[in-house]
Structure 1
Amino acid sequence: MAVKFFAMGGRRLTGAGPGMSGSGSADVRSGLPHRFEALGEALISGSDVLDVCAVAGQDLARDGASMQETLDGLRTTWQLAVGTDPSYDGLAALITAWSETTLGYLHQLSCEDPLTGLASQAHLRSRISEVYRGQDAADALAGHALVLCAMPFDDDPSEEPGDHFTRAMRLARAGELARTVFARDETIARLGMHRVAILARRDDRLGRRVRVLRTLLDRVQSEGASEGPQVRVWIEGLPASDRVAGVLLDELARG
């Protein structure tokens, strides 16, 4: 017969029995997994455990503990402290905290493109999702837009490593100019090998700011005695849903 992993119960647990007091409880604490000592004490004393589970989940994620290690530690602690499997609420608090902390760490790793210093496409995607989560679709469409800067294709460097660097430096330069115009909390990101995208507020100043950016980019290109197609700059509205916004970013990155 399979053993149930979750015990039923609410936010508080009944105190431990006489066998778990005094030296017995001290023995239990000494055998608890690392990062679960506070949880074991809360279980033994019958205190609220949800916040303690959350702290344990955060600490384990920062330590680099895997999901399996985290679950095993929770179950061992619960069984040693009160002789039952973990409650659903305790497990949910632990895993939610572990997941959010782990995702936050991964998000920090992927927020900047190391070659250009611009935000990565993954970070831009996350910022757009935040816009949709904070507002309904109609407000997101009305309040934000993407400003795109596309480098010309005709003078595209070859696939040699040195030319990859040249292409990245062009994007980095475009990003620097974009920051002089969009100097508030806008996200300025690299999209693929040819484009820079800015997540900007759609207000009465947006058109003027885009014209200024286009002028700056054209000036840099003319100073470099570069002939041929100019850098294209345009405003792209946000789609009707977050999912479609992700598809749009992928298409723009490939373009």
Structure 2
Amino acid sequence: MGVCSVAGQVMARDGASVEETLAGLRETCRSITGEDPTYDVVAATLSAWSDTTLGYLHQLSCEDPLTGLSSQAHLRGRLSELYRLGDADPGGITGHGLVVCALPLGDDPSEEPGDHFTRAMRLARAGELARTAFARDETVARVGMHRVAVLTRRDDRMGRRVRVLRTMLETAQPGGAGTSAVRVWIEGLPPTDAGAGMLLDELARG
């Protein structure tokens, strides 16, 4: 079914609709085998088509559909806007910082290690607390499976807000304050836009 998956991906990238994909699949199968495609062939093709289409839509979206936080793609776009302003502009990249919250690994309350919904709810809760600590126009985004990042202005209150956020996140963990491995830190932004993209990719893998 590998060929069917590749065909579904290619059709999605070309912007083909479901109807166009099914019509093309039927025509191809009839020309080769003289018969309509089997259920397995249709399922493999449409599964690849839907996964590719959904991934493309998520990249365009400003909001992560599971958590309600800004998407990583949106955060990447906001960073690019700041880099374009240049170092001299006080509203540019040098006037901003990236606060990263990393939730503990391996302590999901779900019994299923692959429970994406449970992890998403934990990230959504962390995002709510981040918006409480950073209550201005900051971008609060999901980065990977266990991290939330806040793009915020650098000012004399930034450090205090980070400490408040760390306390709230620790208190919200099952064991309460002082028992959690929650980490919150200020990540230095690289000098170039391309470097910022690599930084986000690295944070998402962590």
TM-score by length of 2: 0.65
Larger RCO: 1 or 2 (CA < 8 Å, sep 6+):
2
Which residue number corresponds to residue 207 of structure 1? 159
Which residue number corresponds to residue 81 of structure 2? 130
Corresponding position: 1:142 with 2:142: no
Corresponding position: 1:219 with 2:171: yes
Which of the residues 140, 148, 154 maps onto 1:196? 148
- CA shift at 1:229, angstroms? 4.0
Cα deviations by residue, 1:122-172 (Å, 9 ceiling, x for unpaired): 000000000001123896453111000001113245444xx2111000000
Alignment of 1:66-105 (within 5 A): none
Which residue number corresponds to residue 131 of structure 2? 179
Unaligned regions of 5+ residues in structure 2, if any? 1-14, 16-56
Alpha-carbon distance between aligned partners in 2 of 1:195 and 1:225, rounded to the nearest angstrom: 19
Q: Please tell me whether the aligned partners of residues 151 and 231 of structure 1 are also in contact (alpha carbons under 8 angstroms).
A: yes
- CA shift at 1:180, angstroms? 0.7
Cα deviations by residue, 1:3-58 (Å, 9 ceiling, x for unpaired): xxxxxxxxxxxxxxxxxxxxxxxxxxxxxxxxxxxxxxxxxxxxxxxxxxxxxxxx
User: Do the aligned partners of residues 245 and 108 (structure 1) sit closer, same or farther apart at CA in structure 2, a change above 3 Å counting?
Assistant: closer
| Local SS of the residue matching 1:230 | coil
Q: Please tell me whether the aligned partners of residues 138 and 240 of structure 1 are also in contact (alpha carbons under 8 angstroms).
A: no
Amino acid of the residue matched to residue 150 of structure 1? A
Corresponding position: 1:245 with 2:192: no
Amino acid of the residue matched to residue 164 of structure 2? V
- CA shift at 1:230, angstroms? 2.0
| Local SS of the residue matching 1:112 | coil
Which residue number corresponds to residue 167 of structure 1? 119
Amino acid of the residue matched to residue 185 of structure 1? D
Alpha-carbon distance between aligned partners in 2 of 1:213 and 1:207, rounded to the nearest angstrom: 10
Aligned residues: 147
| Local SS of the residue matching 2:137 | coil
Alignment identity in percent?
71
Which residue number corresponds to residue 103 of structure 2? 151
Alpha-carbon distance between aligned partners in 1 of 2:59 and 2:106, rounded to the nearest angstrom: 35
Q: Please tell me whether the aligned partners of residues 141 and 239 of structure 1 are also in contact (alpha carbons under 8 angstroms).
A: no
Structure with max Cα Rg: 1
Amino acid of the residue matched to residue 96 of structure 2? H
Unaligned regions of 5+ residues in structure 1, if any? 1-63, 65-105
